[in-house]
Amino acid sequence: MSWLVLLLILYVIWDVNYFIRCVFTVFAGKLFQRKRKVTDTTTIYGLCTSQDVDIFIRHMNNARYLRELDFARFHFYALTGLYERIREQRGGAVQGASSVRYRRTIPIFHPYKIQTKLIWWDEKAIYLEQQFVTLSDGFVRAIAMSKQSITNCNVLDILNKYPEAKQMPEMPTELKLWLDAIELSSQKLRKEK
């Protein structure tokens, strides 16, 4: 009986479902999908369930979008082998910034996919674009950009090991504007010290 109580306490204290989903997403991708080029788009699928909805029980709440983006990023890292190469250099990856634009809600019990694509990089970070697309109509419900800060190693050195990434793409205009906004925010916060 004490083990059952301990398991219940652990389940309440930690978000066990999150960890199970992370492991499932990474291993299912590695076992059942082919490896991808680092410049390829990766895709995971989801369903808006009763655990994902807002207080009105009609559509996905904002916090769930960000959570789902985590799973899609882990999947991208696993299928491209990028995280393994970062770890070989004794580096790590952390979320440096993100921006989500919600266009239309994802209604409850609607299936969707999240497409993840590497759109640019510099020596310290990679930049991903991720789209939520409902399967019923192909509509992009939300679009996110994220800055994945890579620690303790040079991103350019890592990406040069991928033949498809030898030629760096042009920085998308919306990414440049977003990075400019982040820099303005940083400058403002530095002045407040």
Instruction: Look at residue 193 in the predicted model and tell me its pLDDT.
Output: 66
pLDDT tens, residue by residue, 142-161: 999 999 999 999 999 999 99
Answer yes or no: is pLDDT of 76 > 70: yes
User: Please, are residues 74 and 26 in contact by the beta-carbon 8 Å criterion?
Assistant: yes
Supply the DSSP symbol for 164: G
Closest CA to 41 of 133, 109, 171: 133
With bands split at pLDDT 50, 70 and 90, how would you rate the model's confidence at 43? very high
Q: Where are the domains of the chain?
A: 10-178
Count other Cβ atoms within 10 Å, centred on residue 99.
14
Q: Indicate the CATH number of 10-178 among 2.60.40.3140, 3.90.950.20, 3.20.20.140, 3.10.129.10.
A: 3.10.129.10
CA dihedral (157, 43, 57, 99) in degrees, to 10, reads 30
Instruction: Look at residue 192 in the predicted model and tell me its pLDDT.
Output: 76
Tokens 């042009």 locate to 170
Strand partners, 143: 101, 131
pLDDT tens, residue by residue, 9-24: 888 888 888 888 999 9
Mean pLDDT value of segment 73-88: 96
With bands split at pLDDT 50, 70 and 90, how would you rate the model's confidence at 3? confident
Count other Cβ atoms within 10 Å, centred on residue 79.
22
C-alpha 34/C-alpha 1 separation (Å) is: 44
Instruction: Look at residue 15 in the predicted model and tell me its pLDDT.
Output: 84
Close Cβ partners of 56 (under 8 Å, ≥ 6 residues apart): none
- The torsion angles phi and psi of 66, rounded to 5 degrees, stand at -65, -40
Mean pLDDT value of segment 85-103: 95
Mean pLDDT value of segment 82-107: 96
Instruction: Look at residue 2 in the predicted model and tell me its pLDDT.
Output: 85
Close Cβ partners of 101 (under 8 Å, ≥ 6 residues apart): 142, 143, 144
Mind giving me the DSSP string for 123-149?
Answer: SSEEEEEEEEEETTT--EEEEEEEEEE
Q: pLDDT over 90 for what percent of the chain?
A: 82
77, two tokens: 């890292």
* Total length of the chain: 193
